[in-house]
Amino acid sequence: MLAALVLRRLSPYRWHVLAIVVLQLIQVGATLLLPTLNAGIVDDGLVAGNSAVVLELGGRMLALAFVQVLAAVSATYLGAVVAMRIGRRLRQELFEKIHALPAQEAERFGPASLVVRTTNDVLQVQTTVVLVFGMLVAAPVMGVGGVVLAVEQDGTLAWLVFAIIPVLMVIMLRIVRRLVPLYRQGQGLVDRINTVIREQILGVMVIRAFVRRSFERRRFAAANGALTANNLRSARIVAAMLPLVMIVVNLSSVAVVWLGGLRIVDGRMELGALTAFTAYIMQILLAIMMVMYVLSAAPRAEVSAERIAEVLNAQDDRREPPVPEPAQVPAGNRHGRHSAAEAQTGPGPALRFDDVSFAFPGAEACVLEGISFEARPGTTTAIIGSTGSGKSTLLRLVPRLLEPSGGRITLGGQDTAAMPLEVLRRSIAAVPQRTWLFDGTVAENLRISLPTADDARLWDALEAAQAASFVAALPDGIDTVLAQGGGLSGGQKQRLCIARALLRPASAYLFDDSFSALDALTESRIFAALGERLASAAVLMVAQRVRSIESADRILVVDNGRIVGSGTHAELLAGSRHYQEIVSSQLDSAGTP
């Protein structure tokens, strides 16, 4: 998997790879020639007392050493460049894939795992690619060349080489086989500890409020301890590799010097040849050690490559038609305000559900079943029901964050399944249940929905969302920098998110419990502004409080994934038992008889 993942992304850098191979060959060639020249200095210069030969061969060795260093530095630099660019491309592909994944697939991986795959796993692949370009290209050439030149120096001693190589290969294979499962488990444990940390950071207020710090410490300690134990086991195996290899290397060096010394005494070998043979033995062993070092890192990279490929190969069963040029928004104008005349000439019902059902993959029962209703332009359709009844899931079906399991959803008369996602989502403005602001200024957060909006448009949207007063009081107004998550109160965040949605001209506006943190006066003012600004758009609103939806044109009561009541507030109050229970429970909780 690692090889396939990298090779598919090497084509733009084929000339870089060719240059790396050539430079590595030059480096290895120079490295292999140095012991032969050194043997010549010993035999023909020092032993013979010929200083001219020493100077001549010494000069050649100096030039070769310079070439070797230059080639090694250049190859290492190019290898690092290619590896970094492959890492950058993998991160970009993962980022784009994650954003394109259906919500079901993204939730299957989980946010923590997707973060680890985009960062840590890509880093493992990137690091191994650096090692491959720096070592694995040169190692085979150095090993084979060392064997050939060692045999040329003395064929009798060459049997030591062929005895050592299998021993080192057995050590290497046994180590790699033990590392693979440990590394696979280790990456899963990284996911786990990332999940725990993420939950504890996001839920820090809950942890403090319910005095759960001791429990969370133990939970983190358990995840941290499991990862530490896994890393220690793999580190011990890797640490054992070097001593084992050095034992073999040192024993082989002793054997070479001992047997070579006997051959020199017998006159069957020159002193320089023994020096060169020893150098070649060390080069052969160095080549094997380089391969072992790369292969000890490869299992972790292989596991990471599998995890990356799992995301990149995740199937998207959504049919994605081509985006028309220019892409058209089904309804709405380009100024954020919609007139009643536009609503009357709109293309039929703005939003329609026809017998829609939805079930998560592998679930035994549907979350939604038999959902049918129309939300016409210029009307507000509210959805209310108990927690877990499927209200938010219903809203997520409109922009195809989730795909219906059955039935049909149309927007402006067009089947949303047949619309390009870009066009569909440009036709919708939404305020999700969890209000989220990004790093940047207030203006930058608002312009997420409409990048071309000028300051006047921003202030207009803030005014409609009842956010202009507190934004004006900020140190730099709309240019005030917000921390991630906003650094604001819950009500202020909701109002900014509502303003952001109001900036976008759209066919449908989705509000998922977007007024829960607002007081009654602010909420009523926002509803009045919505009625004026969104007269040509369908408004679909999920709410928990009856007070928020009393003025809606239509209220849908959802229970256990089904619509069990539909009508105005007065109609439901008179004829819907489920709605009456909701109203009664809220009146009782408010202390009102």
CA distance linking residue 395 with residue 430, whole number of Å: 9
pLDDT value of residue 323: 55
Answer yes or no: are the C-beta atoms of 357 and 405 closer than 8 Å.
yes
Tokens of 367: 């979350």
What does the pLDDT look like over 95-146, one tens digit per residue?
988 888 777 777 778 887 888 889 888 998 988 888 888 776 777 888 787 7
Correct CATH for 434-505 of 3.30.565.10, 1.10.1380.10, 3.40.50.150, 3.40.50.300: 3.40.50.300
CA-CA distance, 553 to 46, in Å (whole number)? Answer: 105
Q: d(Cα 230, Cα 223) in Å, to the nearest integer?
A: 11
Length, in residues, of the chain: 593
Q: Can you tell me whether residue 429 is helix, strand or coil? A: strand
Residue 538 backbone phi and psi in degrees, to 5: -85, 135
Confidence tier at 588 by pLDDT (50, 70, 90): low
Please write the tens of the pLDDT for every residue from 556-566: 999 988 999 99
Task: Indicate where the chain has its CATH 3.40.50.300 domain(s).
Answer: 330-427+507-593, 434-505
Q: State yes or no: pLDDT of 484 exceeds 70.
A: no
* Residue 453 pLDDT > 80: yes
- Return the CATH superfamily for domain 330-427+507-593: P-loop containing nucleotide triphosphate hydrolases (3.40.50.300)
pLDDT tens-digit map of 258-308: 887 887 777 777 777 777 777 877 777 778 777 777 777 777 888 888 889
Q: Which residues, 6 or more positions from 352, have their beta carbon under 8 angstroms from its beta carbon?
A: 373, 374, 375, 409, 410, 411
Read off the pLDDT of residues 31-40 as tens digits, 9 standing for 90 and up.
Answer: 888 877 777 7
Helix H or strand E segment including 353: strand 351-358
Instruction: Look over the chain and give the mean of its residue pLDDT values, rounded to a whole number.
Output: 82
SS (H, E, C) 291-327: HHHHHHHHHHHHHHHHHHHHHHCCCCCCCCCCCCCCC
3-state class (DSSP) for residue 25 = helix
Between 512 and 155, the more confident residue is 512
pLDDT at 348: 40
**How many CB atoms neighbour CB 45 within 10 A?**
20
Integer Cα distance of 428 and 425 in angstroms: 5
How many Å is the maximal CA-CA distance in the chain? 118
- Dist. CA 152–CA 290, nearest whole Å: 24
| Count of Cβ atoms closer than 10 Å to residue 165 Cβ | 17
> What is the per-residue pLDDT for 555?
92
Q: Where are the alpha helices (DSSP H) in 313-450?
A: 340-344, 391-397, 421-426, 442-446
Lowest mean pLDDT among 232-241, 310-319, 353-362, 393-402: 310-319
Bridge-partner residues for 538, per DSSP? 508
Cα-trace Rg, the chain: 35
Q: Render 59-79 in DSSP notation, one character per residue.
A: HHHHHHHHHHHHHHHHHHHHH
Higher-confidence residue of 398 and 179: namely 398
Q: How confident is the model at residue 485 (pLDDT cuts 50, 70, 90)?
A: low
Q: Is the pLDDT of residue 324 over 70?
A: no
Which segment, 45-54, 329-338, 443-452, is predicted with the most confidence on average? 443-452
Q: DSSP letters along 483-533, please?
A: PTT-SS-HHHHHHHHHHHHHHS--SEEEEESTTTTS-HHHHHHHHHHHHHH
State the Cα angle at 350 between 345 and 354, rounded to 5°: 135
User: Tokens 């009456």 — which residue?
Assistant: 580
CA-CA-CA-CA torsion for 306, 311, 314, 319, nearest 10 degrees? -150
Say yes or no to pLDDT of 54 above 60.
yes
Q: What is the Cα–Cα distance from 283 to 309, expressed in whole angstroms?
A: 37
Share of the chain above pLDDT 70, in %: 91
Per the omega criterion (within 30 degrees of 0), is the bond before 326 cis?
yes
pLDDT tens digits, residue range 486-538? 578 888 889 999 999 999 888 899 999 888 888 888 888 888 888 778 888 88
Residue 345 has pLDDT above 50, yes or no: no
The whole-angstrom separation of Cα 269 and Cα 276 is 11
Give residue 341's pLDDT: 33
Which residues in the chain are classed under CATH 1.20.1560.10? 2-312
What's the mean pLDDT in 578-591?
Answer: 74
Structure tokens at 3: 């090889």
394: phi > 0 → left, psi -120 to 50 → alpha, else beta; which? Answer: alpha
Query: Quick one: pLDDT at residue 141?
Result: 80
Q: Is the pLDDT of residue 575 over 70?
A: yes
Which CATH class for the 2-312 domain?
Answer: mainly alpha
What is the predicted pLDDT for the residue at 591?
A: 46
Dihedral sign for Cα 60, 66, 67, 69, please.
Answer: positive
pLDDT value at position 326? Answer: 43
Q: In whole angstroms, what is the distance from residue 279 CA to residue 287 CA?
A: 12
Q: Amino acid letter at 240?
A: A
Averaged pLDDT for residues 427-448: 88
Rounded distance, CA 151 to CA 32, Å? 13
Q: What is the pLDDT of residue 243?
A: 83
Integer angstrom CA distances of residue 540 from 186, 351, 407, 558, 583: 45, 9, 19, 14, 20
327-365: burial string, b at 16+ Cβ within 10 Å, e else: eebbbbeeebbbeeebbeebeebbbbbeebbbbbeeeee
CB atoms within 10 A of CB 124: 25
Q: With 0.85 as the threshold, say if the pTM is over it.
A: no
